[in-house]
């Protein structure tokens, strides 16, 4: 009995300390003190995060960090970027080297539960597909039995490929090439029948690397789910709330049709209560999150809504349509939790 | 017999006659050499014109994607349009004069130090130059004082980063490697064991593993909230790695110095350090100039591996530029050719300097 009491008391103390730590907002306070958000990004993935000719980071992943900085600090440029490789990214987050990881990271159970991470939203729904030359005369991935497939090693792509062919009872011959330039060159020179990677990647490879893009098609089958989104470390719920709602505000702004251009007008004249809540005309949302009431206004004014960010980065750079990433009202999956 | 009698008679006659005589002797000396000569000429004729055609005749410098699409040759416009990104990486655009200036200062110090062989007056200036130069470079790169905005070193990149990583690598790896080499030769068992174990362990793993451990594993062992800078970790990894290789190079030099030289030092009642400094090391180091420079060249090129831990050295910024806009991606051959040219230029200069140094230091042995 006594031991049980002590144990229970101990467990509660630990829980209380943990809760206190969580509420203490160590990350959030750190960001406020230093005055910028440290954001981990990809070392170069056009449309998601890549340096432009002036060396500035751009992309939809970068925009999530900018939106967070705009909401928390009032300035979308108060972000410092740490380019990270796939292997480094979680260590950087766990060790506190970065505050937020926005690096086309697939949300999975093990990452969420075992690595002590929190996925705060999905800013890009992707999935693995197949690119083939039209001359192959194949219209479905189910007809690919015995094909040679170019694939990059050490990625989930390689594993998904093996899973898919095994599940369908088909055989394939992998051609594993480390470097993306060499891998695509091998594909376009006819070294393999099929090239596989995420659909976003296939589309850009087809438009940018093929001599004649019309000679190549992307097969309709998407063989994996790759929900990509920003991640923070567990332990500072206040901070993960800020990131989650900063990103949500971008989608909600698109749902309401609030854009970088019309945001001032909307703030002054809109009678829609949802917009008034979003832009802080009706106060309360900022207070709830511990932010300035103009938090969402700052996001839209400085970064734009989700659709604008997508258009500017993904569509312009990769020529990709919205697809799964359209708003739910347009048949896509982007659906903002209500801000109220 | 006088020396001159051995020389072949001076060729006489017109230029054409001499040319024919020269080529008969050097190019068409027997059927085997004739075949080799003709084969080499055919090979060069096959190899060079397409390269020249691609790289110069059909190439363009026009810094637009449209301009590049029009030509069949090289698109140097890719390099032209992204030159600042390639040279300085993601360093803030308006502040890029700082890494440029830092690079010039660094090159100045390096040239000054290397020139001390020819101009002994510079020798006394080497240490002050570095003592002043390194803080100046740090201030330029980091900023945060004198009205310069602070720039995190995750923004450093390109040629300045490559030069900083390799020159700091050389400066620290050299003395460390020397100590390890002496440690391995030492009669004190503890020092000897530590040196041997260190050298063998580090030589036994690839640099990429050292960098990877430093960048991915090491932070997990630090207490919460403590982070050691990524660049610093990479720099330390490079120093530790190069030092192990240099140690073995220096050991070779130490072993080549005749036993009698050590005994000479002892018989003059010089201390260990005195005899090392005055007698042994000058001879040992001179002997190993070629392998030492070889190590430096390979370290210089190895700095490109930092790309796997998300730092953009010069090769990394070329890749960064290739991904800056997907439309540029297909011009990767031009990007890598440009990087190769710059790397070659630097490595070739190092090799040339090493040859000069050897000649200069062997003056005493020439007869």
Tell me how far apart the alpha carbons of residues B95 and B102 are, in angstroms, rounded to a whole number: 12
Chain A with chain B: Cβ pairs closer than 8 A: 113
pLDDT of A21 reads 43
Q: Which domain holds residue A198?
A: 128-224
Q: What is the mean pLDDT of chain A?
A: 87
Tell me how far apart the alpha carbons of residues B333 and B321 are, in angstroms, rounded to a whole number: 13
Q: Which CATH number is B156-360 given?
A: 1.10.3720.10
pLDDT of B10 reads 62
Tens of pLDDT, residues B145-193: 888 888 888 888 899 999 999 999 999 999 999 999 999 988 899 999 9
> Testing the interface with B: which of A55, A93, A197, A318 to mutate, by most B Cβ within 10 A?
A55
Q: How confident is the model at residue B4 (pLDDT cuts 50, 70, 90)?
A: low
HEC string of B102-160 equals: HHHHHHHHHHHHHHCCCCHHHHHHHHHHHHHHHHHHHHHHHCCCCCCCCCCHHHCEHHH
**Which residue did the predictor score with more confidence, B360 or A312?**
A312
% of chain A with per-residue pLDDT over 70? 92
Residues A195 and A266 in one domain: no
Report if residue A11 sits inside a domain.
no
pLDDT of A275 reads 95
Tell me how far apart the alpha carbons of residues B87 and A208 are, in angstroms, rounded to a whole number: 25
pLDDT of B362 reads 78
A155: closest CA of chain B, how far (Å): 15
Give chain B positions within 8 Å (CB) of A25.
none
Report if residue A2 sits inside a domain.
no
ipTM of the complex: 0.77
Give chain B positions within 8 Å (CB) of A26.
225
Report if residue A19 sits inside a domain.
no
Contact flag A46-B216 (C-beta cutoff 8 Å): no
| Mean per-residue pLDDT, A113-124 | 92
pLDDT of B224 reads 66
pLDDT of A44 reads 83
Residue A13 has pLDDT above 60, yes or no: no
CA distance to A105, B83, B314, B315, B353, per residue, from B159 (Å) = 30, 11, 5, 9, 20
Give chain B positions within 8 Å (CB) of A88.
215-216, 309-310
pLDDT of B7 reads 61
**Which residue did the predictor score with more confidence, B176 or A198?**
B176
- Element housing A195 (H / E): strand A194-198
Cα-to-chain-centroid distance, residue B358: 17
Residues A204 and A231 in one domain: no
Residues A110 and A38 in one domain: yes
Residue A250 has pLDDT above 70, yes or no: yes
Give chain A positions within 8 Å (CB) of B93.
54-56
Nearest to A97 among B227, B322, B325 (CB): B227
Secondary structure (3-state) at A330: helix
Residue B198 has pLDDT above 60, yes or no: yes
Residues A114 and A196 in one domain: no
pLDDT of B12 reads 67
Residues A36 and A119 in one domain: yes
Beta bridge partners of A260: none
Tell me how far apart the alpha carbons of residues B241 and B165 are, in angstroms, rounded to a whole number: 13
| Mean per-residue pLDDT, B335-350 | 92
Tens of pLDDT, residues B45-102: 999 998 998 888 888 888 888 888 888 888 888 888 888 899 998 888 888 899 999 9
pLDDT of B5 reads 52
pLDDT of B220 reads 75
What residue in B sits closest to A89 (Cα-Cα)? Answer: B216
Tell me how far apart the alpha carbons of residues B74 and A309 are, in angstroms, rounded to a whole number: 34
pLDDT of A22 reads 44
Residue A171 has pLDDT above 70, yes or no: yes
User: Touching check for B156 and chain A: CB below 8 Å?
Assistant: no
Contact flag A44-B323 (C-beta cutoff 8 Å): yes
- CA gyration radius for chain A? 22
Considering only residues 15 to 54 of chain B, which have any Cβ-Cβ distance to chain A shorter than 8 Å? none
Q: Are A116 and A157 in contact (CB under 8 A)?
A: no
Residues A80 and A133 in one domain: no
Residue A7 has pLDDT above 60, yes or no: no
Report if residue A156 sits inside a domain.
yes
DSSP for B223-236, please give it. PTT----HHHHHHH
% of chain A with per-residue pLDDT over 90? 52
Tens of pLDDT, residues B135-148: 888 888 888 888 88
> Whole-prediction pTM value?
0.81
A-side interface with B, Cβ within 8 Å?
26, 43-47, 50-57, 80-85, 87-88, 91-92, 94-97, 181, 204, 207-209, 317-318
What residue in B sits closest to A43 (Cα-Cα)? Answer: B310
A86: closest CA of chain B, how far (Å): 9
Contact flag A50-B320 (C-beta cutoff 8 Å): yes
Q: How confident is the model at residue A8 (pLDDT cuts 50, 70, 90)?
A: very low
Tens of pLDDT, residues B293-324: 889 998 998 888 888 778 888 988 998 888 88
| Mean per-residue pLDDT, B23-39 | 87
Residues A113 and A138 in one domain: no
Nearest to A317 among B215, B219, B325 (CB): B325
Report if residue A332 sits inside a domain.
no
Beta bridge partners of A228: A106, A124
Q: Provide the domain count of chain A.
A: 2
> Testing the interface with B: which of A58, A85, A95 to mutate, by most B Cβ within 10 A?
A95
What residue in B sits closest to A51 (Cα-Cα)? Answer: B324
Q: Are B153 and B141 in contact (CB under 8 A)?
A: yes
| Mean per-residue pLDDT, B335-363 | 89
pLDDT of B11 reads 59
Residues A247 and A216 in one domain: no
pLDDT of A1 reads 38
Residues A115 and A245 in one domain: yes
- Tokens 């449209």 map to which residue? B66
pLDDT of B8 reads 60
A296: closest CA of chain B, how far (Å): 27
pLDDT of A12 reads 42
Residues A299 and A156 in one domain: no
Q: What is the mean pLDDT of chain B?
A: 86
From A73-87, A139-153, A201-215, A236-250, the region with the lowest mean pLDDT = A201-215
User: Touching check for B92 and chain A: CB below 8 Å?
Assistant: yes
Q: Are A39 and A29 in contact (CB under 8 A)?
A: no
B69: closest CA of chain A, how far (Å): 11
> Testing the interface with B: which of A53, A78, A87 to mutate, by most B Cβ within 10 A?
A53
What residue in B sits closest to A188 (Cα-Cα)? Answer: B330
Residues A169 and A88 in one domain: no
pLDDT of A183 reads 82
**Which residue did the predictor score with more confidence, B116 or A22?**
B116
Report if residue A7 sits inside a domain.
no
Residues A44 and A178 in one domain: no
Contact flag B227-A95 (C-beta cutoff 8 Å): yes
Report if residue A77 sits inside a domain.
yes
pLDDT of B359 reads 85
- Tokens 């990509």 map to which residue? A228
DSSP for B248-315, please give it. HHHHHHHHHS-HHHHHHHHHTT--HHHHIIIIIHHHHHHHTHHHHHHHHHHHHHHGGGGGGGT-EEHH
Q: Classify the C-alpha dihedral A137-A138-A144-A150 as positive or negative.
A: positive
Tens of pLDDT, residues B212-250: 888 777 777 777 666 777 888 889 889 999 999 999 999
Q: How confident is the model at residue B6 (pLDDT cuts 50, 70, 90)?
A: low
Picking from B111, B102, B110, the residue whose alpha carbon sits closest to that of residue B137 is: B102
pLDDT of B341 reads 93
What residue in A sits closest to B89 (Cα-Cα)? Answer: A55
pLDDT of B367 reads 55
Contact flag B152-A91 (C-beta cutoff 8 Å): no
Nearest to B154 among A47, A81, A318 (CB): A81
Q: Are B237 and B228 in contact (CB under 8 A)?
A: no
Residue A318 has pLDDT above 70, yes or no: yes
Picking from A169, A202, A327, the residue whose alpha carbon sits closest to that of residue A257 is: A327
Contact flag A87-B212 (C-beta cutoff 8 Å): yes
Q: What are the structural domain ranges in chain B?
A: 92-150, 156-360
Beta bridge partners of B312: B157
User: Touching check for B163 and chain A: CB below 8 Å?
Assistant: no
Q: How confident is the model at residue A132 (pLDDT cuts 50, 70, 90)?
A: very high
């Amino acid at each position: 009995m006594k031991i049980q009491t002590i144990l229970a008391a101990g467990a509660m103390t630990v829980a209380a300390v943990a809760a206190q730590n969580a509420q203490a907002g160590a990350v959030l306070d750190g960001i406020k003190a230093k005055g910028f958000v440290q954001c981990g990004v990809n070392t170069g993935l056009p449309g998601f995060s890549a340096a432009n000719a002036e060396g500035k980071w751009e992309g939809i992943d970068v925009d999530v960090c900018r939106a967070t900085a705009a909401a928390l600090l009032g300035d979308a440029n108060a972000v410092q970027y740490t380019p990270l490789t796939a292997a480094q990214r979680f260590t950087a987050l766990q060790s506190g080297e970065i505050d937020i990881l926005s690096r086309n990271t697939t949300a999975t159970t093990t990452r969420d539960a075992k690595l002590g991470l929190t996925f705060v939203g999905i800013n890009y729904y992707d999935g693995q597909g197949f690119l083939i030359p039209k001359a192959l005369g194949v219209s479905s991935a189910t007809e690919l039995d015995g094909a040679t497939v170019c694939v990059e090693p050490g990625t989930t792509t390689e594993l998904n490929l093996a899973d898919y062919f095994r599940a369908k009872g088909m055989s394939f011959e992998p051609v594993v090439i480390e470097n993306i330039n060499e891998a695509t060159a091998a594909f376009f020179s006819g070294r393999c029948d099929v090239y596989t990677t995420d659909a976003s990647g296939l589309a850009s490879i087809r438009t940018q690397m093929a001599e004649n893009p019309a000679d190549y098609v992307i097969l309709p089958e998407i063989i994996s789910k790759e929900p990509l989104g920003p991640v923070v470390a567990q332990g500072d719920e206040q901070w993960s709330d800020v990131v989650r709602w900063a990103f949500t505000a971008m989608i909600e702004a698109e749902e309401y049709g609030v854009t970088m251009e019309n945001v001032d007008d909307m703030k002054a004249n809109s009678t829609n209560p949802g917009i008034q809540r979003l832009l802080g005309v009706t106060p309360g949302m900022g207070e709830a999150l511990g932010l300035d009431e103009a938090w969402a206004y700052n996001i839209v004014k400085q970064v734009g809504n989700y659709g604008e960010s997508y258009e500017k980065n993904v569509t312009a750079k990769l020529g990709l349509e919205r697809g799964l990433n359209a708003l739910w009202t347009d048949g896509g999956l982007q659906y903002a939790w209500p801000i109220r | 017999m006088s020396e001159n009698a051995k020389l072949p008679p001076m060729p006489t006659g017109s230029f054409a006659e001499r040319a024919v005589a020269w080529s008969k002797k050097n190019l068409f000396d027997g059927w085997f050499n004739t075949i080799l000569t003709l084969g080499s000429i055919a090979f060069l004729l096959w190899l060079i014109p397409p390269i020249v055609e691609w790289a110069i005749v059909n190439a363009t410098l026009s810094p637009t994607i449209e301009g590049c699409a029009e030509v069949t040759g090289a698109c140097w416009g890719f390099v032209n349009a992204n030159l600042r990104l390639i040279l300085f990486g993601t360093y803030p655009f308006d502040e890029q004069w700082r890494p440029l200036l830092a690079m010039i200062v660094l090159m100045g110090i390096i040239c000054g130090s290397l020139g001390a062989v020819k101009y002994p007056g510079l020798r006394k200036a080497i240490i002050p130059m570095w003592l002043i130069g390194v803080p100046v470079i740090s201030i330029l790169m980091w900023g945060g004082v004198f009205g310069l905005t602070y720039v995190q070193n995750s923004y450093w990149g390109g040629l300045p980063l490559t030069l900083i990583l390799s020159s700091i690598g050389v400066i620290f790896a050299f003395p460390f490697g020397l100590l390890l080499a002496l440690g391995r030769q030492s009669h004190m068992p503890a020092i000897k064991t530590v040196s041997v174990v260190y050298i063998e362990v580090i030589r036994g793993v690839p640099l990429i593993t050292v960098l990877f451990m430093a960048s991915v594993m090491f932070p997990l062992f630090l207490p919460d909230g403590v982070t050691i800078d990524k660049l610093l970790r990479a720099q330390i990894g490079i120093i530790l790695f190069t030092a192990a290789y240099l140690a073995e190079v220096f050991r070779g030099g130490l072993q080549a110095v005749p036993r009698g030289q050590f005994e000479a030092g002892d018989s003059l009642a010089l201390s260990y350090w005195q005899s090392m400094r005055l007698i042994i090391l000058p001879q040992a180091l001179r002997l190993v100039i070629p392998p030492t420079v070889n190590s430096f060249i390979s370290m210089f090129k190895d700095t490109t591996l930092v790309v796997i831990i998300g730092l953009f050295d010069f090769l990394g910024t070329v890749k960064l530029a290739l991904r800056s806009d997907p439309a540029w991606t297909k011009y990767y051959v031009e990007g890598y050719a440009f990087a190769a040219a710059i790397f070659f230029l630097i490595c070739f200069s190092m090799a040339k300097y090493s040859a000069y140094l050897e000649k200069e230091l062997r003056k005493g042995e020439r007869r």
